[in-house]
Amino acid sequence: MRALALVLLLSSTALAKSSKDVPYTVGESFSSALRFVRIDRGCKVTDKDPDAAFITWECKDDDKVLRGSIEIFRAGDKVVRLQVTLGDEPHYAELRFLELLERKLRDERGTPPAVAPPAPKKPLDGGT
């Protein structure tokens, strides 16, 4: 019985997620991601929600239908995380997708300004 469970576990498809942090807003990232999926990749958007910042899509590749999704959420001050899942595609395909999406963001939105490091705190004793 344990052997059967092990075989089933090992044979199941793993759904990995890849992510990348970018210095853009959720709104900027969502609109660029939507154009990237629909126009640049030529995929059919099956669901989208700008308020929740997610997009699902499917693309035809020969006689296969490839499905994917992206979630965009705040990951810190002035940083958002792009999290991509590409169904049965290998991990490197997700990483390439994120690389191309980040390039699109830079092309459309420009290079984001460098984040200045926080000012050093003055000692409480006045520095003596």
- Per residue in 24-38, pLDDT (tens digit) is 999 999 999 999 999
Spatial contact of 49 and 66, defined as CB atoms under 8 Å apart:
no
Rg of the chain over Cα atoms, rounded to whole angstroms, equals 20
- Closest C-alpha among 51, 50, 68 to residue 59: 68
- Per residue in 59-101, pLDDT (tens digit) is 988 888 889 999 999 988 889 999 999 988 889 999 999 999 9
Q: Is the pLDDT of residue 121 over 80?
A: no
- For 39-50, give one letter per residue: b (16+ CB within 10 A) or e: eeeebeeeebee
Amino acid 125 reads D
Q: Is the pLDDT of residue 19 over 70?
A: yes
Please name each of the domains of the chain with its CATH number: 23-108 (3.30.310.80)
